[in-house]
Amino acid sequence: MATKPKFFSPVDVLDINTLLNLTGNDAWECQSSSPTTSRDRASALGHDGDERAFREFNPLESLNLAYKCYTVQGFLTLPAVGKVHNGYHIDRWLLSFTPTDFPVMTVTAHKHQGTTGSHAVDSCRTYSIDLKLPAQFCIPTQIAFAVGSDKAFELKNAAIGMRSLTVELSCSHIDEQGGCGDWLAGENHDGVETINVEFTGVPEDSTDVAFDPSFSRSSDSRTEGNTQVNTRSLTLVKHLKFDQPSVPSP
């Protein structure tokens, strides 16, 4: 029996606030949920070249969730990639700041659905962001490290505008299949944090804009035109080591 279409009811199957132990104004509000299920397919052809048999294997649910946080005080609480919660492995997240909105966090996760199960809690390496990302409306002009007083990025010139700022945390994830094609085990390596920033105007290095030397400048582009303002875009990349597990006291 068909059910009625539902409106205005995205389901946070990842349950991000329970994972991060957040309540009240600090909590993330789910804006959209987009699960997708896929399967691999093996095919055997007959002597005439047409398919004689097939077998589906390795079922997988991929998940994209978007959240907003409406508090304008302190710093955002963000998940580690590689973390497993409710059976879902967090692959990456992207935090977007714009001039006219609260920050939006888009989380990508996956969950295996074969007969051998999926990732278990604390079964994979995790990677945590080493930056303090402010909870605020509009775009921050500086991002500091979580430890110490150094800044990862800073716009020093108030005459230069900020068009957009995104911060991404990801890692490389490896899944291995068992003898019948379904998922067997998985692990992570090479965590990466990426800052993408676009300016209205062209800030000059050191005098107008600065970034920490631990980041590589993987892209730096400028645009000028006879019908538009000049702009500059920067992409900064830093590779991270995995979170070391805590050692219980003897």
Confidence of residue 84 (pLDDT cuts 50, 70, 90): very high
What distance in Å separates the CA atoms of residue 120 and residue 105, rounded to the nearest whole number?
24
Instruction: Count Cα atoms within 13 angstroms, Cβ side, for 181.
Output: 10
Quick one: average pLDDT of 233-247? Answer: 88
Contacts of 167 (CB under 8 A, 6+ apart): 94, 95, 129, 131, 133, 143, 193, 194, 195, 196
Confidence of residue 179 (pLDDT cuts 50, 70, 90): confident
Q: Are 145 and 132 in contact (CB under 8 A)?
A: yes
The pLDDT, as a whole number, for residue 168 is: 98
Percent of the chain exceeding pLDDT 70 equals 97
95-121 pLDDT, tens digit each: 999 999 999 999 999 999 978 889 999
52-73 pLDDT, tens digit each: 999 998 899 999 999 999 999 9
The pLDDT, as a whole number, for residue 72 is: 93
Looking at per-residue pLDDT, the higher value among 82 and 179 belongs to 82
What distance in Å separates the CA atoms of residue 3 and residue 20, rounded to the nearest whole number?
33
The answer, yes or no, to whether residue 248 has pLDDT greater than 90, is no
The pLDDT, as a whole number, for residue 224 is: 87
The answer, yes or no, to whether residue 189 has pLDDT greater than 90, is yes
For the record, the structure tokens of 113 come out as 């659905």
Q: Tell me the pTM.
A: 0.91
Q: Are 73 and 65 in contact (CB under 8 A)?
A: no
2-52 pLDDT, tens digit each: 678 888 889 999 999 999 999 998 999 999 999 999 998 999 999 999 999
The pLDDT, as a whole number, for residue 178 is: 87
What are the b/e assignments for 112-125, b being 16+ CB within 10 Å? bbbeeebbeeeebb
Q: Per DSSP, what are the bridge partners of residue 144?
A: 132, 151
The pLDDT, as a whole number, for residue 249 is: 55
What distance in Å separates the CA atoms of residue 174 and residue 189, rounded to the nearest whole number?
8
Q: Which residue is listed with tokens 């199960």?
A: 117
